[in-house]
Every structure is written in structure tokens, then in C-alpha cells.
Amino acid sequence: MQGATLVLPAPAKLNLMLHILGRRPDGYHELQTLFQFLDHGDELGFALRPDGEIHLRTEVPGVPHDSNLIVRAARKLQAESGCQLGADIWLDKRLPMGGGIGGGSSDAATTLLGLDQLWDLGWSEDRLAALGLGLGADVPVFVRGRAAFAEGIGELLTPVELPEPWFLVAVPQVFVSTAEVFSDPELTRNTQPIKVRSLLEGGGRNDCQPVVEKRYPDVRNALILLNNFTSARLTGTGACVFGSFPNKGDADKVRRQLPATLPSFVAQGRNISMLHRKLNELAKK
């Protein structure tokens, strides 16, 4: 991050449940999901460039520079705002790709909020969230930074107050293709809508989980393993699986019992993302 003048987190998220209600004429799926953030994630650094160039200074294996969501987010904000300034961007990548915990979407949201600040654009959260939706359905929830019940394709957000337990997240070493999961003929697509109130009382499941378990034995095995200690569930379309615990000590204890071949981490669930807590701190200075 040497040279960065602004350093911001890009937190992970969990889908505590994910119901698929149907498929729309445009091919997207109508869904209901419950997002909560984790105090764990990537970190991005930003520095101003006067020449209008956007450079991601960190190479991401398997992702060409110009198709990285970070670069796409930066260029989109630059084009929409008419800003003549550019940026050097650094990435400390900690979240797995294809893990269902929002790595790419979170990086894009942090880029939008970070550059809004760096370039002194003064865009509203609504405007940034609308821009983010064009980059991915999960980007707006990270732009807004509040735990939320999401509907539509994930863009209609209702903020919610949830308990903030500790989560153990296991990271099977497979890349799950979201497109493959959503095109699987066996995917449940007719779950009845539920109200946010009944959801907060503990309802819900992940409709993608049976398909992912069938296609990816490593994910199924991780769920079986974690289910020995707590009720385990898939987040998003996977591959990460999680279980909740009342405190960090209990989560750490179970983590120590997982095999070394299954990477994992422990983090607290948060209703306000660590990105927004950091931005609020900076605003007070």
C-alpha cells in the first residue's frame, strides 16, 4: 500500500438465507435474501493521479487488469461524473473469488466510495448505489453498508437490525460458478415469498445449497463437518459455508478442530459494515 493516501476495508458478507421466487423474462432470478457483514475482508489503497489514468497496481491472478471490477468501477464513476482525475489503486486480497462472500462486489463498492472521497465528488449514497447496480447485483448493499433484507434481483434493500454473533466461515478450495448454479434445472425457483418479520424470527434457508452440494463434493463435505458443531449453511451460491456462535471463544474452539486442508476464519457479524465505520471515523477528523 506504499504510496496510498486513503486506505479502506472491503468487508465480506454472508447471505443468512437465500430464497429464489422465480425467473424473470430477462433471465435474472427474483429472490429474497438477508445480508449481514463480517469484520473481515480485503483492503484497498488509493492515491490521486492528475493525468486521468486508472491503474490497479496489484495483479490479480486470472483476472485481466481491464476486466477487474475495481478498474471497471473506477472508470464507470469517472465517466459518469465527468471527473478528469485518475487513481492508483492497490489491493490486499484476502477474500476468495467464487466464495459467495462478496469479494469482487465489495471491492467495487469500496472503490466507488473511496474515489468519491478522493476525487471530492460529493455523490449521494443513492447515486453511488444505482451506479454500482450496473456492476453487479450485490454492489449496492456494500455501498449502503447496512445489514439488509434484499428483494428483486438483490437491489431492493430494507435495512434490518440483526443479532451480531460470531461466525466460523469455512472456505472449500473450489470455485463455484454462479451462472452454473442458477442455470441448473434442479434449482428450486418457486419458493413462496416471506415477510421480513417472519424471517427475523428464524425462518429461511438457501435454495442454492442442494445444487451446490450435488455439484461440489468439497462443499458438501465442509457442510457435513461443520454440522457436527452447529447448524451450517451455504452463503450465496458458495463455496463458503458458515455457522454462528455466541462468542469468539466458541468459534475459535471449533475452528481448531477443522482439518488443515479446509481453510477457515472467524469474524463477527456486523449490521454496519467496517467500511462505513471507517468512513464515519474519517469524516469526524
- Which sequence positions are flagged as catalytic? 13, 138
Task: Return the number of other C-beta atoms located less than 10 Å from residue 153's C-beta.
Answer: 16
Counting every residue, how long is the chain?
285
Q: Hey, which residues does 168 pair with through a beta bridge?
A: 243, 266
Cell 428450486 sits at which residue?
Answer: 188
Contact 15, 121 (CB under 8 A): no
Compute, in degrees rounded to 10, the torsion defined by CA atoms 192, 197, 203, 209. 60
* Strand 148-151, strand 29-49: pairing: antiparallel
Q: Would you give the distance in Å from CA 181 to the centre of its chain?
A: 17
Of residues 117, 123, 110, the one with CA closest to residue 282? 117
Packing angle between helix 125-133 and helix 69-81, nearest 10 degrees? Answer: 120
Cell 472508470 sits at which residue?
Answer: 75
Whether the bond between 109 and the residue before it is cis, its omega within 30 degrees of 0, is no
Question: Can you read off the three cell numbers belonging to residue 41?
Answer: 475482508
